[in-house]
Amino acid sequence: MGIRHSIFGIASLFLFVICSVFFIKLEAVDKEQDSGILSQVGFEVAGEGSFYRIAVNKADKDDLYYAFLPSYTDVGRIRMSIHGGGKVNINGTDIVDGDYLDKFETNQEYSIVLYSPKNKITEQANIQFLVSANLPAVYITTKSGSMEYINSEKGNKESGFITITSENGKEVYSDKMDKLGGRGNTSWEVPKKSYSLETHSNAGLLGMKDAKKWILIANFYDGAIIRNKIGFQLADRTGLLYTPDSRFIDLYINEQYWGLYQLTERIEVNGNRIAINDGYLMEVDYPERAIYEKNVIYLENGQPIVIHNPKKITESQYLFLDSCYEEMLAALYAEDYVNPDTGKGIFEYLDKESFARMYLIEEIFEDLDMGVTSHYMYKGKEDESLLFDGPVWDLDNTMGRGFDLRNEFFAINNSLTSNQISRWYARLCGNEEFSQAVFTEWEKRVRPALSEIVDTEIDELIMTLGPSINMDKLCWPGKRSIFMPEASLETNVLFLESYLQERLEFLDTSFSYKKDETISFMKSQANTLPALERIEEFQLPDDTGAVSTPHSENGISDFIFSRHGIILFTLLVIILILLIAADLKRNRKIR
């Protein structure tokens, strides 16, 4: 009896293994066959000496696919690429793998039929070819060949490979990629996500300075797409140091078009970025985010300033910075702007020009995040080093997107009673030396740069980006702006231009023609600050919280609850019942 049961158990285990292997293979075959046009059809586009495969994208409606092609595409030199054999028929023409397409135009819909290797129709739909214009293309291949893991959680990262071509198709960079991961806070919750990118070695991507760390900005919330770009341009022309450089690119990930992105330098201490050696890079940030940071200084009302560099701060460095802020604030709020204990004036603590330029930028942009988050400052490590304002970052929440006070002062608005930076600017503007620096910077640098952007550069930039913007909107359909959700690109751009034009006129009048009136207003704001409100405190959550499950590809639970897993389970139950019945029958005969 024991021997029979042992044989019975071994036979059951053997059957389980055989069935598992069979159904896992069947599951893989089914997935491959079910994917149809989306996974099998692609087009190889000729660059200078290389072909780059572009898979199709599924449109918002069921029966339409898009082929989003880079700007250097020669429609007469597109080569068909079909995974898994078979052929396609596009608009009545049979095309097999390796054939060239020479009878099709962009922005036209054509019928497409996918055939299996046995000449059976797999899928029927329509397809449209679209081509970008005048933009480089970035091709990323992740190690897994998928973005599922990276997109499932912001902290997830994968290595891979990256290739960059110019707008003319010339390969300008190709190397291993150490990391691709999620980026952003509220922007991480949208369908089109931003990413952080780390190359394998220092590289000057598309003419920018050598570094390893880069950002791929999605600009999803900005209905006009270009706020970050023109914001960086203006900040750079005002002379604000270390403004990030950037390039618009068409992004392809794992052969599929991912959208119009802004490849941007990352804010970091680096010889080619923020060159302050062993100095301090700091960011004003939300308290609910700062609690997760290791190095944080809290100002008098609980406003946190996160120290990003050095990454490991010593107690003496912490005390040094804390003392610097205390001494600076004592000078700032003194009636004569001189610290009564040290005898140092305010501009022995702050860099006057950087704060004047940043103040003007904040007045122009009306940044929703000013003094709340993404507001950077930096300082050298020595005691006599000044505190510098900037660089700018994260400008999609600006220029009428949030605040829209076209004919009012914004950055010295006393209603922002818990905002430390607004109070700093208000106090500084009451200082005659600072207000004169503001007027000089406006006249010499800021107004000419802003006028040029408003008069010509916005329209030129939109014209250049037009085809890619169209591709991006088709790739990521739906509402793109919280404040103007139903507005078209044209309406968004007109709004941006009108906002900046009116802001330019108001500030030019205030800083040029009504200077005396403005000085009087600034002094009033500086001398009538309301009581400083304390901001809400946060604490780290208990360690008893739920622990997230580690990422596991091809997990056993996925298979068990799949269609074939259920079939396998049912089959095993039937086999076991039959074996038990046979065993019982045999026992009765023996008796």
Does the CA dihedral 367-373-378-379 come out positive or negative?
Answer: positive
Distance of CA 515 to the CA centre of its chain: 41
Angstrom distance (rounded) from CA 128 to CA 110: 6
Q: Is the distance from CB of 232 to CB of 365 less than 8 angstroms? A: no
Give the tens place of pLDDT for each residue, 194-239.
999 999 999 999 999 999 999 999 999 899 999 999 999 999 999 9
SS3 call for 76? helix
Query: How many CB atoms are located within 10 Å of the residue 239 CB?
Result: 15
pLDDT for the residue numbered 557: 47
Phi, then psi, of 30 in degrees rounded to 5: -60, -45
Q: What's the chain's average pLDDT?
A: 88
Q: Is the distance from CB of 320 to CB of 343 less than 8 angstroms? A: no
Does the CA dihedral 278-279-285-290 come out positive or negative?
Answer: positive
**Burial grade of 20 (CB within 10 A; 0-12, 13-18, 19 or more):** middle
- Contacts of 439 by beta carbon, 8 Å cutoff, 6+ apart: 511, 512, 515
Number of H-type helices and E-type strands within the chain: 15, 22
Tell me which residue of 432, 409, 428, 408 sits closest to 420, measured CA to CA. 428
Tell me which residue of 393, 333, 391, 398 sits closest to 358, measured CA to CA. 391
Give the tens place of pLDDT for each residue, 37-73.
999 999 999 988 789 999 999 998 889 999 999 999 9
- Contacts of 95 by beta carbon, 8 Å cutoff, 6+ apart: 80, 87, 88, 89, 101
Angstrom distance (rounded) from CA 139 to CA 142: 10
Angle at 205 between CA 201 and CA 209, to 5 degrees: 85
Angstrom distance (rounded) from CA 34 to CA 12: 32
- The band of 550, judged by pLDDT with boundaries at 50, 70 and 90, is very low
Tokens of residue 490, six digits? 């044209």
Tell me which residue of 533, 36, 70, 137 sits closest to 299, measured CA to CA. 533
Tell me which residue of 203, 158, 164 sits closest to 178, measured CA to CA. 158
- The band of 32, judged by pLDDT with boundaries at 50, 70 and 90, is very low
pTM for the model: 0.87
30-34, 167-171, 440-444, 562-566: which has the minimum mean pLDDT? Answer: 30-34
Position 29 pLDDT exceeds 50: no
Q: Is the distance from CB of 474 to CB of 59 less than 8 angstroms? A: yes
Half-sphere exposure of 166 (CA within 13 A, CB side): 8
Angstrom distance (rounded) from CA 202 to CA 509: 46
Q: Which amino acid is at 180?
A: L
Give the tens place of pLDDT for each residue, 3-16.
555 555 555 555 55
Q: Is the distance from CB of 346 to CB of 352 less than 8 angstroms? A: no
Tell me which residue of 334, 361, 339, 299 sits closest to 428, measured CA to CA. 334
pLDDT for the residue numbered 278: 86
Angstrom distance (rounded) from CA 402 to CA 368: 6
More confident of the two residues 76 and 123: 123
Phi, then psi, of 136 in degrees rounded to 5: -65, 160
Tokens of residue 498, six digits? 């009108």
Average pLDDT score over residue span 320-335: 96
Does the CA dihedral 105-109-110-115 come out positive or negative?
Answer: positive
pLDDT for the residue numbered 242: 96
Q: What is the DSSP letter of 186?
A: G
Angstrom distance (rounded) from CA 300 to CA 325: 10
Q: Which amino acid is at 374?
A: S
Q: Which amino acid is at 243?
A: T
Strand order in the sheet with 57-58: 57-58, 64-69, 121-131, 109-115, 87-90, 93-96
- The band of 583, judged by pLDDT with boundaries at 50, 70 and 90, is low
Tell me which residue of 491, 484, 496, 486 sits closest to 406, measured CA to CA. 496
Give the tens place of pLDDT for each residue, 242-279.
999 999 999 999 999 999 999 999 999 999 999 998 89
Angstrom distance (rounded) from CA 280 to CA 275: 11
- The band of 548, judged by pLDDT with boundaries at 50, 70 and 90, is very low
Q: Is the distance from CB of 180 to CB of 160 less than 8 angstroms? A: yes
More confident of the two residues 104 and 343: 343
Q: Which amino acid is at 13?
A: L
- How far apart, in Å, do the first and last CA atoms of the chain sit? 13
pLDDT for the residue numbered 425: 97
Query: How many CB atoms are located within 10 Å of the residue 133 CB?
Result: 17
- Contacts of 387 by beta carbon, 8 Å cutoff, 6+ apart: 324, 328, 349, 350, 351, 377, 378, 379
Average pLDDT score over residue span 141-161: 96
Q: Is the distance from CB of 124 to CB of 116 less than 8 angstroms? A: no
Angstrom distance (rounded) from CA 532 to CA 475: 47
pLDDT for the residue numbered 564: 52
What is the DSSP code string of 54-67?
EE-EE-SSTTEEEE
pLDDT for the residue numbered 482: 76
